[in-house]
Amino acid sequence: MAFDDFATKHVACGDVSIFARHGGEGPPLLLLHGYPQTHMMWRQVADRLASHFTIIAPDIRGYGRSTQPPEREGHAAYAKRLMAWDMIAVMRSFGHERFFVAGHDRGGRIAYRMALDYPGAIRKLSILDIIPTGEVWARADARFALGYWHWAFLAQPAPLPERLIGADPETFFFKEQFPGAADYLDPVGYRDYLACMENPAVIHAMCQDYRAGASYDRVLDQHEKGKVRIDIPLQILWGSRGALEQWYDVLAVWREWGSKVEGQPVEAGHFLAEENAAATGDALLDFFGR
């Protein structure tokens, strides 16, 4: 079954409605997208996985076709602990109490928070092209500030980032922040990302996501480091041409958080699932299929 032919569903999760695409056959596998994308980033990989797994691919709260929550004090509405609960509720709505999870970028941050907060729900976890949020901030230096400048920019108080981005979202996201993205992202997904970015509420949600990352998520990681661990099999994939390969000993960082860590780089930049869908899909099939 092709990803484009999957059924769709809106799931009520407290103060938001989560949009999800679902299909395939086999054990349940939750696929979580990152910034500045939607569930469609998984389109090519999901086509490879659907004959082995039942795929559930949602838009995380605030992004894509999911709704934005009411504002809370600070940026608590986008804390990864709450976004992790969303995904538990989504999977339970499909009747899945235990399942596999793969998350890229912001979706990876939701995914590892799920594994820490709901250890009995996750069978295996694959995280694509990140290290934990608290580790990112702890290691922030001039190289990070220049290379990942959007982390601090998006976290600035509203409405400055929203106004600047909203003037020309395509240029901001895909010509300046990720130059040449139109050449290597899946064209169907690319059109979907741009369509969703026409909604100012989605742009605000992305900024709120990063504001929560710089506050709630950073502090929670720092508080929990060394006190909790991910004890399920944990696969880490990252782009061989991306920042993580240059800046960090990726597996060593994750071994401070997990007891069963494995992984390797994929010949790609940051957007593994679109830049090299074949290698990414093969790595996920091998890991979840064992």
Catalytic residue among 105, 186, 192, 217: 105
Residue 136 — very low, low, confident or very high, per pLDDT cuts 50/70/90?
very high
Give the mean model confidence (pLDDT) for residues 190-211: 98
pLDDT digits (tens, 9 = 90+) for 140-149: 999 999 999 9
Judged against a pLDDT cut of 90, whether residue 198 lies above it is answered with: yes
Question: For the chain, what are the domain ranges?
Answer: 3-289
Give the mean model confidence (pLDDT) for residues 35-40: 98
Give the mean model confidence (pLDDT) for residues 91-106: 99
Judged against a pLDDT cut of 90, whether residue 220 lies above it is answered with: yes
User: Over pLDDT 90: what percentage of the chain?
Assistant: 96
Judged against a pLDDT cut of 80, whether residue 103 lies above it is answered with: yes
Backbone angles phi, psi at 260, to 5 degrees: -135, 60
- The whole-number pLDDT of residue 72 equals 85
Check the CA dihedral 265-26-98-118 and report its sign.
positive
- The whole-number pLDDT of residue 74 equals 84
As a whole number of angstroms, the distance between CA 240 and CA 67 comes to 34
The distance of Cα 103 from the centroid of its chain, to the nearest Å, equals: 5
Active site residue 270: yes
Judged against a pLDDT cut of 90, whether residue 2 lies above it is answered with: no
Backbone angles phi, psi at 19, to 5 degrees: -85, 135
pLDDT digits (tens, 9 = 90+) for 13-37: 999 999 999 999 999 999 999 999 9
Q: What is the mean pLDDT of the chain?
A: 97
pLDDT digits (tens, 9 = 90+) for 224-281: 999 999 999 999 999 999 999 999 999 999 999 999 999 999 999 999 999 999 999 9
CATH of 3-289, one of 3.90.78.10, 3.40.50.2020, 3.40.50.1820, 3.40.50.2300: 3.40.50.1820
Catalytic residue among 33, 104, 204, 270: 270
Active site residue 150: no
